[in-house]
Amino acid sequence: MYTPTILRFMLFDDGRVDDCMLLQGNQRKVASLDHVTHVSQFPVEVLEKIAVLMVLDFNDRGLRGGDGNHIEGVGRRISEYTYWVDLEEDDGIYAGSESKEEGTRDPESG
């Protein structure tokens, strides 16, 4: 069974990020994880997943417990401020990887 690497963090209304850590899965070195203090420091691929999770109502009982609040390939919203984001190889957060954001791609790779 596939176990994704989970990026867990708290995201506050002002964009501050706190308590950012890996929870499970592939414990590869994550680029600049210890220095993430603001949401703008995440790669665009992670920001897109956060945007999806932000629209979830964390108080909705149907979204809590079990896997009912997990969105495959995106993650889950645990509480008002706590997010778990599923990381993938091309999310731009692993050391040595590059974000797919325009301007960061290798021109030779297409």
pLDDT values of the chain reduced to their tens digit, one per residue, 110 residues: 566 788 899 999 999 999 888 876 555 555 546 678 999 988 899 999 999 999 887 776 555 445 556 788 899 888 899 999 998 876 766 655 554 443 333 334 44
Number of domains, the chain: 1
Domain annotation covers residue 56: yes
Domain annotation covers residue 68: yes
- Where in the sequence is the domain holding 51, given as residue range(s)? 5-91
Mean pLDDT in the chain? Answer: 74
Q: What span, in angstroms and rounded, lies between the C-alpha atoms of 21 and 23?
A: 6
Q: What is the pTM of this model?
A: 0.71
